[in-house]
């Protein structure tokens, strides 16, 4: 069985936030409810419950809609981004997609917008651990729901972060997984800490840790939703977006033709293999749309 390999860089983000706290400066005053765009930074390896490779199309469509809204809004503003003062910098707690939309507008190839300051809501002074819990709460309320994989990985990260001291029912409630899953995570974490493995638990994926805990080789196993599969999907989608832009993903007729070219059974495989969360809902909506047009 191979050693576990780092999948995330959460520990580096934690070190940055702890260094900020040790060398903290007074929190700057905000007079007009806005901050310079360039002064707001991400610490998504620690603060963001969402995985960068999950639900890519949904996220891109959400960012597209936000950018469109901001372009037509007065002052090109969206709802305030929630930020937290780490002691040295302003960290995004809630509003990653809004920041991505602002970035898209600022760097638009043909019609860039001069967005220098963005509206913010400031989190009261607290530790980075408390700020992370607030980020978790904010994302639970977000209309773009977390996938099952994101919920599980976020729960594992919460278990693996030292110093949170949360009960199993509390972690389960906040993350949306079962108490039994938290039991398994804590058992795996205990074994991992006692094993002599040269790794930092919070930088591992739960899928790999669970495979290791059960005595399987995580490097050669490829269950649904593995990092390899997500990376391949990300690469394919990135190439499609680069070559065909929004046309392919905004025109259902084109997508329908693509699926038919791949094979008449492709929609059924999408459902049975669970390649994409929400495939059943998508198919039902597509059928209803076709009935309305008939």
Q: DSSP string of 229-263? A: HHHHHHHHHHHHHHHHTTHHHH-HHHHHHHHHHH-
The overall average pLDDT reported for the chain is 80
As to burial, measured by CB atoms within 10 angstroms (0-12 exposed, 13-18 middle, 19+ buried), residue 75 is exposed
Q: How much is the pLDDT for 27? A: 96
pTM above 0.85?
no
Boundaries of every domain in the chain: 10-213, 251-293
- Of 52-61, 243-252, 264-273, the range with the lowest mean pLDDT is 264-273
- Pair type for strands 40-41 and 81-85: unpaired
**Residue 74 confidence class, pLDDT cut points 50, 70, 90:** confident
Q: How much is the pLDDT for 146? A: 77
**Residue 284 confidence class, pLDDT cut points 50, 70, 90:** very low
The answer to whether residues 229 and 222 touch, using CB atoms and an 8 Å cutoff, is: yes
Q: And the tokens for 91? A: 């960290």
Q: And the tokens for 36? A: 């310079």
**Residue 144 confidence class, pLDDT cut points 50, 70, 90:** low
Q: How much is the pLDDT for 218? A: 47
**Residue 5 confidence class, pLDDT cut points 50, 70, 90:** low
Residues 6+ apart with CB under 8 A from 173: none
**What is the residue whose two structure tokens read 């905000």?**
30
What values do phi and psi take at 195, rounded to 5?
-85, -20
């Amino acid at each position: 069985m191979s050693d576990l390999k780092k999948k995330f860089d959460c520990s580096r983000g934690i070190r940055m936030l702890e260094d900020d706290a040790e060398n903290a400066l007074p929190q700057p005053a905000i007079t007009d409810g806005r901050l310079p765009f360039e002064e707001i930074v991400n610490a998504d390896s620690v603060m963001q419950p969402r995985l960068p490779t999950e639900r890519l199309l949904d996220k891109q469509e959400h960012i597209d809609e936000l950018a469109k809204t901001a372009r037509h809004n007065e002052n090109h503003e969206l709802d305030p981004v929630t930020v937290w003062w780490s002691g040295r910098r302003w960290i995004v707690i809630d509003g990653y997609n809004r920041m991505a939309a602002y970035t898209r507008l600022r760097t638009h190839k043909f019609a860039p917008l001069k967005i220098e300051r963005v509206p913010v809501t400031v989190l009261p002074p607290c530790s980075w651990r408390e700020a992370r819990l607030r980020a978790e709460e904010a994302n639970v309320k977000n209309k773009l729901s977390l996938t099952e994989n994101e919920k599980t990985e976020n729960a594992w990260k919460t278990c693996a972060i030292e110093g949170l001291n949360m009960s199993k029912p509390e972690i389960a409630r906040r993350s949306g997984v079962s108490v039994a899953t938290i039991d398994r995570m804590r058992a795996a974490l205990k074994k991992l800490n006692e094993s002599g493995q040269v790794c930092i638990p919070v930088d591992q994926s739960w899928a790999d840790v669970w495979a290791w805990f059960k005595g399987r080789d995580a490097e050669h196993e490829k269950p649904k939703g593995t990092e390899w599969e997500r990376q391949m999907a990300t690469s394919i989608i990135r190439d499609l977006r680069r070559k065909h832009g929004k046309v392919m993903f905004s025109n259902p007729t084109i997508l329908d033709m693509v699926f038919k070219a791949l094979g008449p059974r492709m929609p059924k495989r999408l459902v049975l293999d669970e390649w994409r969360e929400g495939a059943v809902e998508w198919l039902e909506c597509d059928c209803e749309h076709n009935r309305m047009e008939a």
